[in-house]
């Protein structure tokens, strides 16, 4: 669990730094740094998704690899919409917002930073949670950490910590609350690493990267202000892609 705890600590530290120094820079500088993070996330998502798609194409799926991406996102999105994954995340974020409403640290951006665009705790919590929990690095890093090698989660911690700084300058302390799903998801995977590890074949990892990268790309589109997609509802697509790749890859 040491890797998971380091990841949680990095997010909290990054959030604290963002909150501490976010108020010292102008709105224009905050906005450009926020868009820069969004662009970086966009590129990372594209790179990850294309890499996973290429690896899937090299498996037994061959030319059917793009269909795995499309089918997983469509079916996963329909399922996620039906059960209301994003609504559930937002309701949990609103619950946290209500419980922390009287704490100045968790006040909306406009209360702490006059002239800043209003970003609620819910927005920060949902965006950061999905960004930090989606992707093959989360699963692989947690498995390796559970088996005694936390090095991959250390790398993820560095990336998440840097992202937390930029996100916290605009979204506020809600970014820090994303450690709740981080420790729940990564902790559960790390504890069950011995059981999960045999199933993490090359095609399965490729499937995770392919669809997970697409969701990270969607987060980047949101952060850059290009388009808001219901990426939370598409989360089941990651598991669907991994399942298909595991069976037929």
pLDDT tens-digit map of 200-230: 888 988 998 899 889 889 888 888 888 888 8
pLDDT at 110: 44
Report helix, strand or coil for 237: helix
Name the nearest CA neighbour of 77 among 224, 241, 206: 241
CA angle, corner 224, sides to 55 and 97, nearest 5? 105
> Residue 241 sits in which domain range?
2-248
pLDDT at position 226: 87
Residue 197 is predicted with a pLDDT of 81
Q: How far apart are CA 58 and CA 62, in angstroms?
A: 6
Contact indicator for 55, 69 with CB cutoff of 8 Å: no
Tokens 């951006």 identify what position?
A: 109
**Ranges of the chain whose pLDDT falls below 50:** 109-118
Whole-number pLDDT of residue 8: 92
Residue 131 near residue 219 (C-beta atoms within 8 A): yes
Say how many domains are in the chain: 1
């Amino acid at each position: 669990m040491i890797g998971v705890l380091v990841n949680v600590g990095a997010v909290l530290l990054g959030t604290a730094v963002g909150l501490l120094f976010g108020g010292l820079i102008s709105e224009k500088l905050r906005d450009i740094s926020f868009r820069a993070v969004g662009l970086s996330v966009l590129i990372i998502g594209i790179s990850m998704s294309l890499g996973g798609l290429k690896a899937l194409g090299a498996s037994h799926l061959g030319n059917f690899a793009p269909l795995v991406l499309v089918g997983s996102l469509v079916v996963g999105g329909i399922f996620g919409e039906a059960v209301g994954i994003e609504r559930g995340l937002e309701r949990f974020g609103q619950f946290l917002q209500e419980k922390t409403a009287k704490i100045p640290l968790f006040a909306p951006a406009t209360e702490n930073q006059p002239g800043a665009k209003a970003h609620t705790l819910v927005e920060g919590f949902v965006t950061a949670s999905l960004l930090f929990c989606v992707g093959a690095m989360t699963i692989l890093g947690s498995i390796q950490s559970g088996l005694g090698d936390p090095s991959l989660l250390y790398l993820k911690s560095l990336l998440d910590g840097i992202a937390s700084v930029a996100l916290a300058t605009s979204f506020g302390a809600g970014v820090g609350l994303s450690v709740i799903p981080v420790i729940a998801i990564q902790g559960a995977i790390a504890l069950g690493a011995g059981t999960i590890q045999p199933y993490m074949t090359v095609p399965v990892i490729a499937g995770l990267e392919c669809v997970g990268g697409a969701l990270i790309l969607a987060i980047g589109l949101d952060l850059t202000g290009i388009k808001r997609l219901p990426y939370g509802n598409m989360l089941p697509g990651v598991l669907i892609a991994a399942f298909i790749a595991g069976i037929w890859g």
